[in-house]
Amino acid sequence: MTSSPDTQPLPAQRITGKARLAGVLGWPVGHSRSPLLHNYWLRRYGVDGAYVPLPVRPEAFETAVRGLQAAGFSGANVTVPHKEAAFRLADVLDESARATGSVNTLIFQDDGTIRGLSTDGDGFVASLRAAGVDLPAVSDATTGRRVLLLGAGGAARSVAVSLAAAGMEVCVTNRTRARADELAASLPGLSVCPWEEWEDRLGDYALLVNTTSLGMEGGPEPGFCPALERASAGLVVADIVYVPRVTPLMAEAQRRGLRTVGGLGMLLHQARLGFHAWFGVEPQVDAQTEAYVLASFSS
């Protein structure tokens, strides 16, 4: 931690006639922290640019993207419910976009083509590494490189792809078994654990990742807090939920002396590639960035 990161004054935002432009397409989009984060970085690095929320209904998605491109935007982030539509629209896809079938970052290229990236999973892995969790070396003799993923939605898919690429062996468990089977069938090397059994099998894993909405403020079953008594001593517990900052699952893990990683880092790290591509500066995710975004949760 640097000293008092939130007390350092930021320069005013610079938006001239040559400003570079980007935004986030979603429906709804009002909850997104991306405008706050990107405009913070724009100010911090003195970039001539702006990043705006773009509320776009599903049926208008393609029209909106073509319009942004025609208006000279550098690109956009894409959030719920447009990630699959963005995948279909992009002309060039990076490997993680192909593996996940979804795109969260669009880059409008000089030749008129649109490049699509999926940065959520790599953002998650980067946040683990930034928190000092060394992949795949987190494993030990009992657990090997095994990860247990709770959930089988879009977030689980992104995280699974990136964890596998980082050398981990991924097992997925989900309330609705068919979705876990479907995910495992579409990604090489994934296995499935029955939802009723994962707590009993926890000792086999080096890393537990919650990708469900369980534990999220306003989410299902607010008290969700599984028993972690079968965990190995070295288990790392990660949650992609970032409100609250310490979820009930993380609190229980901490009570047992286990290392935990919250979801805020994933939110910050997934944004870096897009910012770099649109604005030409590689932004840092540091204590100052974290403090700035965190301050917005209480306002």
Contact pick of 154, 215, 263, 283 for ligand ATR (by CB under 6 A): 154
Burial 84-122 (b: 16+ CB within 10 A, else e): ebbbebbeebbebbebbbbbbbbbbeeeeebbbbbbbbb
Using the contact rule CB under 6 A, the part of the chain among 9-17, 42-50, 174-182, 196-204 near ligand ATR is 174-182
Instruction: Report which residue type is found at 85.
Output: A
Residue 117 C-beta: closest distance to ligand ATR, Å: 17
Task: Give the nearer residue to ligand ATR in terms of CB position, either 156 or 277.
Answer: 156
Q: What is the CA radius of gyration of the chain?
A: 20
CA 226 to CA 253: how far, in whole Å?
10
Residue of 4, 142, 176, 296 interacting with ligand ATR (CB under 6 A): 176
Q: How many CB atoms lie within 10 A of CB 2?
A: 9
What is the Cα–Cα distance from 297 to 273, expressed in whole angstroms?
24
Q: Which of 86, 99, 163, 214 binds ligand ATR (CB under 6 A)?
A: 214
Binding ligand ATR (rule: CB under 6 A), the pick from 175, 201, 245, 259 is: 175
Q: Applying CB under 6 A, which of residues 32, 34, 212, 270 lies at the interface with ligand ATR?
A: 212
18 carries an active-site annotation: no
261 is a contact residue toward ligand ATR (CB under 6 A): no
Of 37 and 209, CB closest to ligand ATR? 209
Residue 179 makes contact with ligand ATR by CB under 6 A: yes
Residue 182, interface with ligand ATR (CB under 6 A)? no
Question: Which among 20, 33, 82, 83 is annotated as catalytic?
Answer: 83
- The encoded tokens of residue 53 equal 């929320």
The smaller minimum CB distance to ligand ATR, of residues 151 and 265, is found at 151
Peptide bond before residue 81 is cis, with ω within 30 degrees of 0: yes
Within 10 Å of residue 30's Cβ, how many Cβ atoms? 8
- How many whole angstroms separate alpha carbon 191 and alpha carbon 171? 5
Q: Which of 68, 155, 170, 250 binds ligand ATR (CB under 6 A)?
A: 155
State the amino acid at position 24 in one-letter form: V
Q: Which residues bind ligand ATR (CB under 6 A)?
A: 151-156, 174-176, 179, 211-214, 220-221
Active site residues: 83
